[in-house]
């Protein structure tokens, strides 16, 4: 794809923003809605590969069945010159993997809130009959407002379809080895429980900064998923509560039947864990389930069971919804709003400003004489990597050069450019006078001291500025209200200074005289005083 190329007569490519093993992703502008979108194209080398075409189509099919605030939603599907693509909402932010890498570990409350949002997305997907099969921090996006979005259903499957086995895929297993479940590691069919195991791994990594299983080869890691017991979380992070550790360890049970049955159920367990942090229940503690095994019932009994299940589901949903509202504040305060001071010493001013903006910081430039070259950053108010909040101000001290500076030539520069040039070397520009002159308004006509003289740091250069020059048009006899906007457009400031009473109604509102007179040369912004005719009231209307 090339920059500015228009796809399907609708999407204009802006820039590449990512790539994976199967697809290339570009930022684009939807020319119909004027919104930014992300377009995912199948890699050129896979366009003729039926397996990859099938996976690409499967992602589109899965996404089309879902619409949820915690899922990167599908917007369009198409094909451009035999190149299939899908259009998804653009999430401007970071991946959860980036955030973990930057922060090492996340606070417990924040980690749990993120996990609850992932579970909310999975609950929606599972209810639509879709298993994700590749839940990992790289597929969890966090936008600049703190919203959590689950992405990449590229290897998702519909419930009831068979997952590819190791034999069917040349000994490769669908999913990512650090995050997939024991059953996926053995090539068995992935289930709802498999996604919940992956959420447990992600939560483990958020809380400890490391994955529970690692090794030199994918096979070695897969074997650990099948055989090894993860190290208790509190050995790695003592700040984790027993109750939250218990939920994670239950999610990481080897036997799928010993894990949580639904995403909603696991979210409820996390909510309870936050409320009761010291509760150290055993892994075989009964869990809340919405589908208890009941004996066959008739009539009123069946209705009573259905009502009870419906009430339980509504209660759990309400609790989780309340958690989401509260948790948004935590995520924004602890992740989205947090940043770190960049290293900007020895950078030039422009580069330092770019780094500050990239970190989400405001900046304030101050100048100070030094032996460093003009424009070089010599001090920063916060040390490199110092924790800050987005929107905080980073004070940047820039060298203005030696204490005494040679006065630059400012003549013929625009006043703003002249000020910028002088400020870079620690001098100030003072507008001494503005006069009528044919040169463009704001142009420096003369300066004092003249170029080449020496001034101490903070010294003042006085300048005379052009106010532009206008030849005043003749407005006499014209209706003032009609020509008022035209007077402003010329560069004059229209003002009615007086009125003259007349009996001729046709003269009402017309310009009688003007000052300055027609043909005079004046500065832009000069006031144009006009006297207008006003119709004298008739005798019959006079009281």
Please give the positions annotated as active site. Answer: 134
Paired residues of 534 in beta bridges: 501
Q: Please name the helix (run of DSSP H) or strand (run of DSSP E) that holds residue 222, with its range, or none.
A: helix 218-227
Contact 443, 413 (CB under 8 A): yes
Distance CA 355, CA 539 (A): 76
Distance CA 65, CA 280 (A): 39
User: Cα–Cα–Cα angle for 309, 312, 314, nearest 5°?
Assistant: 110
Cβ neighbours of residue 161 closer than 8 Å, sequence gap 6 or more: none
Distance CA 65, CA 405 (A): 68
- Residues 384, 388, 394, 397: is their CA dihedral positive or negative? negative
Q: Please name the helix (run of DSSP H) or strand (run of DSSP E) that holds residue 465, with its range, or none.
A: strand 460-466
Distance CA 78, CA 60 (A): 10
Give me the half-sphere count of Cα atoms (radius 13 Å) on the Cβ side of residue 513. Answer: 6
Question: Three-state DSSP class for 528?
Answer: strand
Distance CA 119, CA 266 (A): 8
Question: Three-state DSSP class for 111?
Answer: helix
Q: What is the CA radius of gyration of the chain?
A: 35
Distance CA 8, CA 76 (A): 11
Distance CA 113, CA 108 (A): 9
Put residue 424 in one of left, alpha, beta given phi > 0 → left and psi -120 to 50 → alpha: alpha
Contact 140, 106 (CB under 8 A): no
Cβ neighbours of residue 319 closer than 8 Å, sequence gap 6 or more: 268, 271
Q: Token pair for residue 383?
A: 């040390």
536 secondary structure, DSSP code: P
Question: Three-state DSSP class for 86?
Answer: strand
């Amino acid at each position: 794809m090339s920059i500015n190329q228009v796809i399907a007569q609708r999407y204009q490519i802006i820039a590449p923003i990512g790539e994976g093993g199967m697809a290339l992703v570009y930022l684009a502008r939807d020319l119909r809605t004027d919104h930014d979108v992300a377009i995912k194209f199948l890699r050129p080398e896979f366009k003729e590969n039926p397996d990859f075409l099938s996976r690409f189509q499967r992602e589109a099919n899965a996404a089309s069945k879902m619409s949820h605030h915690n899922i990167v939603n599908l917007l369009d599907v198409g094909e451009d010159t035999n190149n299939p693509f899908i259009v998804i909402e653009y999430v401007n932010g970071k991946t959860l993997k980036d955030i973990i890498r930057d922060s090492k570990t996340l606070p417990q409350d924040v980690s749990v809130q993120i996990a609850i949002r992932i579970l909310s997305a999975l609950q929606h997907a599972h209810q639509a009959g879709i298993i994700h099969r590749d839940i990992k921090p790289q597929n969890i996006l966090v936008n600049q407002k703190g919203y959590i979005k689950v992405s990449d259903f590229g290897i998702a499957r519909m419930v009831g379809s068979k997952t590819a086995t190791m034999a069917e895929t040349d000994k490769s297993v669908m999913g990512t080895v650090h995050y997939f479940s024991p059953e996926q590691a053995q090539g068995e069919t992935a289930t709802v429980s498999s996604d919940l195991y992956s959420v447990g791994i992600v939560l483990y990594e958020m809380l400890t900064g490391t994955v529970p299983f690692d090794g030199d080869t994918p096979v070695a890691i897969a074997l650990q998923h099948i055989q090894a017991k993860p190290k208790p979380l509190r050995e790695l992070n003592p700040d984790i509560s027993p109750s939250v550790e218990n939920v994670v360890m239950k999610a990481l049970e080897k036997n799928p039947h010993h894990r949580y049955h639904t995403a909603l159920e696991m979210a409820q367990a996390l909510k309870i864990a936050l409320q009761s942090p010291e509760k150290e229940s055993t892994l075989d503690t009964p869990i809340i389930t919405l589908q208890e095994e009941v004996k066959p019932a008739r009539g009123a009994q069946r209705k009573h069971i259905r009502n009870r299940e419906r009430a339980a589901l509504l209660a759990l949903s309400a609790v989780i919804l309340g958690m989401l509202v509260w948790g948004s504040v935590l995520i924004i305060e602890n992740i989205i709003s947090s940043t770190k001071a960049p290293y900007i010493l020895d950078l030039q001013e422009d580069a330092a400003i770019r780094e500050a903006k990239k970190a989400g910081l405001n900046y304030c430039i101050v100048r100070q004489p030094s032996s460093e070259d003009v424009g070089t950053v010599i001090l920063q108010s916060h040390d490199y990597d110092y924790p800050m909040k987005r929107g905080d101000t980073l004070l940047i001290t820039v060298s203005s050069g030696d204490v005494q500076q040679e006065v630059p030539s400012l003549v013929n520069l625009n006043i703003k450019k002249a000020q910028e040039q002088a400020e870079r070397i620690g001098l100030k520009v003072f507008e001494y006078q503005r006069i009528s002159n044919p040169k463009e308004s704001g142009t420096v006509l003369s300066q004092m001291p003249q170029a080449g003289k020496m001034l101490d740091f903070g010294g003042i250069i006085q300048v005379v500025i052009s106010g532009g020059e206008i030849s005043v048009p003749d407005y006499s006899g014209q209706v003032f209200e009609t020509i008022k906007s035209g007077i402003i457009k010329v560069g004059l400031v229209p003002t009615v200074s007086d009125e003259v009473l007349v009996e001729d109604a046709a003269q009402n509102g017309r310009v009688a005289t003007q000052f300055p007179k027609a043909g005079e040369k004046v500065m832009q912004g000069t006031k144009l005083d006009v006297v207008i005719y006003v119709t004298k009231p008739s005798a019959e209307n006079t009281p």
